[in-house]
């Protein structure tokens, strides 16, 4: 009985991909699915625009303020650090977190601007390591066709091509890749299987690790 909390640990599941790859659509569909199954879960997203740091990020993305590339990188990272302890509490008390973007976005987008990749990774060290990273894979050209970019700073085809390349540099063999250019239901189906599998493994008490491990 004393081990009840560790027995019921929630899973840290991260969705990554280019702008318009379908992360937000899939995260919210996943939440309804998990809810229906009675799995305790929350949907998180980064940047979390609700905090003071998040508001600075949001203003930068909307081109309402300019920041040095290093500065904005550290703000994105700080925005994850300010949620780290709550994240750990949720996971250890059995809540699964579906997270729309995480440290990999931080590194892929900043290194696509030309910042050194090791420098980009450094401030992410010590954040919680995801139990599952799913990359929604879509050609940048195809993503750009979806609803048109809304004018935020990084929503340009040339830049998204560079980001796609840097995601490939960052990617490790544990990542699951889904063809995100398929219809929504065909992306959702394999994603459900991956998520349920991960939730089960974590429930059995899989160790919670830190990045980058």
147 binds ligand T5A (CB under 6 A): yes
Q: How far is the CB of 181 from Na ion (least distance, A)?
A: 17
Site for ligand T5A in 29-48 (CB under 6 A): 46-47
142 vs 40, 134, 139, CA distance in Å? 34, 19, 5
Cβ-count burial 134-168 (b if 16+ within 10 Å, e if not)? bbbbbebeebbeeeeeeeeebbeeebbebbbebbe
21 binds, among Na ion, ligand T5A, none (CB under 5 to 8 A by kind): ligand T5A
Taking CA 29 as the corner, what is the angle to CA 151 and CA 105, rounded to the nearest 5 degrees? Answer: 45
Both tokens of residue 44? Answer: 């998180």
Question: b/e string for 53-65 if b means 16 or more Cβ within 10 A?
Answer: bbebbbebbeeee
Q: Beta strands of 46-191 (E only): which ranges?
A: 96-100, 132-137, 176-179
Q: What residue ranges bind Na ion (CB under 5 A)?
A: 24
User: 142 vs 200, which CB is nearer to Na ion?
Assistant: 142
* 105 touching ligand T5A, by CB under 6 A: yes
Cβ proximity to Na ion: between 24 and 51 the closer is 24
* Tokens found for residue 187: 């992306």
**Token pair in block for residue 58:** 């949001």
What does the alpha-carbon distance between residue 149 and residue 155 come to, in Å, rounded to a whole number? 6
101 binds ligand T5A (CB under 6 A): yes
Q: Does 61 bind ligand T5A (CB under 6 A)?
A: yes
173 is a contact residue toward ligand T5A (CB under 6 A): no
Least distance CB 71 / ligand T5A (angstroms): 12
> Choosing among Na ion, ligand T5A, none, which partner's interface includes residue 25 (Cβ < 5 to 8 Å by kind)?
ligand T5A
Shortest approach of Na ion to residue 24 CB, angstroms? Answer: 4
Binding site for ligand T5A (CB under 6 A): 17, 19-25, 46-47, 61, 76, 100-101, 105-106, 109, 146-147, 154, 183-184, 187
């Amino acid at each position: 009985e004393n081990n009840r909390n560790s027995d019921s640990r929630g899973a840290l599941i991260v969705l990554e991909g280019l702008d318009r790859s379908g992360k937000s659509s899939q995260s919210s569909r996943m939440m309804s699915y998990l809810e229906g199954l009675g799995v305790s879960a929350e949907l998180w997203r980064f940047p979390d625009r609700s905090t003071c740091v998040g508001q600075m990020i949001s203003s930068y993305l909307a081109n309402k303020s300019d920041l040095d590339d290093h500065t904005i990188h550290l703000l994105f990272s700080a925005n994850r650090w300010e949620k780290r302890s709550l994240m750990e509490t949720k996971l250890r008390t059995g809540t699964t977190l579906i997270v729309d973007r995480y440290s990999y976005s931080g590194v892929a987008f900043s290194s696509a601007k030309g910042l050194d990749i090791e420098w980009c990774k450094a401030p992410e060290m010590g954040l919680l390591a995801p139990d599952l990273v799913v990359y929604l894979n879509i050609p940048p050209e195809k993503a750009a066709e979806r609803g048109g970019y809304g004018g935020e700073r990084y929503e340009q085809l040339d830049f998204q091509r560079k980001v796609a390349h840097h995601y490939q540099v960052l990617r490790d063999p544990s990542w699951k890749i889904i063809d995100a250019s398929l219809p929504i239901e065909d992306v959702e189906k394999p994603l459900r299987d991956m998520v349920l599998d991960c939730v089960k493994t974590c429930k059995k008490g899989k160790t919670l690790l830190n990045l980058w491990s």
